[in-house]
Each structure stands twice: as C-alpha cells, then as structure tokens.
Amino acid sequence: MLNKDEFVHFLANTGALRFGDFITKSGRKTPYFINTGEFRTGQSLSTLASFYADAFVEHFKNKAENLFGPAYKGIPLCAATAMKLSDAHNINLSFTYNRKEAKDHGEGGTLVGYTYKEKTNVVIIEDVITAGTSVNETMETLKCIPNVNVVGLLISVDRRERLENGLSAMQIVSEKYNIETHSIININDIIEFLTKEENRKKINAPEDILERVHNYRNEWGVA
C-alpha cells in the first residue's frame, strides 16, 4: 500500500526534496525544489521504484501491459519499476525506452525493449513535469508507432501549479491526450507531511517552512 508520508521522508532524506529559497524555470520564487537527479545509488533507485510500483498498482492495475520510459531519466525508472512490479506484486509487464538518436546498426531504430508487435496499452513513466514539454515530445514519438495505445502517465511529484491557462501541466496533458495522469504524491501531500511536527524534525525543516509552502500553494496552486 502506498504510504505518502514515507515517500516525502524518503525524498527529503535523499536530497531530492529540498526546502529553502529557489527560483523555478518560470521565474517563480519557491520554498521547495524537486531534483530527481539525486537518486544515484542502487538502493535509492530500488526504493524509488517500489513507490512507483505501488502507485501503478493503485492507479493502473489491469489497465496496461507496458511501461515506457522516455530518455533519459525515464529509462532507469521504467526498467526498475517493471522489476518491482514483478518481484513485489507478481505483475509481469514489458518495458520500452527510446534513444535520442536512431541507431543504424544492431537492432537499429530508436526503441529498446519491447517493440509493440500487437496492440499494447502503455503507461509513460516520468520523473516530474513542469510545463509538459517532455510529455508532448513523448506523445508525438509514441503516436507514430503502430499498436501503441497510451492510457496514462505516472510521475513522482505533481507540483499542481497553474500555468498560463489556469490549469496544471498534469491537467493539460490529461485533457489534451485523453489519458489518466497520476503522481505518487503532490504538493498537498507535502503540506500534509509538514503539518506534523515530528516529521519536520525528522528532516530538519526550516521553522517557517509549513507556512511558506502553504502560502506558495495558495498563490500558484490549481483548485
């Protein structure tokens, strides 16, 4: 069963979730920052994949046969998640990932792994999305491949921030492509974690961080 407090604690302990003063790509001042590049060991990747697998079972069980990991961060994520689904949940899915450049020798092409020989329901495994640009690129790639039917997107953290049209990136992707979009946690789960004093102490959070994150969500968050 997915334990969201445990995931927030895990992110903070690995340094993937940091609290302080940061600037987003869009120029917003934010009191927290997500960097999944901090998962650099076999243990941290294994733990991360366990959370992805739990979230997949919660949202996509019996809905997909394949995991697709966009280059580059999606590559280890989809492979490790497929392993955890097999080991912990007895769910044996195929997985596929893409190269940025086509290979002209060996197996050739841009795809590695399962090659969609028959109609296949696919869930995209990503780390985080900001404006949805990378997901748009992935969807453009997949829609050109016969037998691929994308049914969903699963990411680690959904910031649930409004973009120019008032929707979040996840909401835009869901509406644009008519797919399910889910995350292991979102900003509301981080705030829920921070409301507990013992949790703030565990991760040595700044004293005013709960108020700052709460205010940031109120200013930029979607309904």
User: Per the residue annotation, which of 29, 63, 103, 196 is the catalytic one?
Assistant: 103
CA distance linking residue 209 with residue 194, whole number of Å = 8
**CA separation for the pair 219, 204 (Å, rounded):** 25
Which residues are within 8 A (CB) of 6 and not within 5 positions of it... i.e. 6 or more apart? none
Q: Which two tokens stand for residue 159?
A: 């910031």
| Residue 4 DSSP SS3 | helix
The yes-or-no answer on residue 25 being catalytic is: no
Contacts within 8 Å (CB) and 24+ apart, 9-17: 9/193, 9/199, 9/202, 9/203, 10/47, 10/48, 10/51, 11/156, 11/157, 12/202, 12/203, 12/205, 13/203, 14/38, 14/39, 14/44, 17/157, 17/190
Active-site residue flag, 103:
yes
- Are β-strands 17-23 and 29-34 bridged in parallel, bridged antiparallel, or unpaired? antiparallel
What is the DSSP pairing of strand 148-158 with strand 120-125? Answer: parallel
CA distance linking residue 169 with residue 161, whole number of Å: 8
Backbone angles phi, psi at 19, to 5 degrees: -115, 140
d(CA 48, CA 83): 12
25, 100, 105, 117: the catalytic one is 105
Task: List, by residue number, the catalytic residues.
Answer: 103, 105
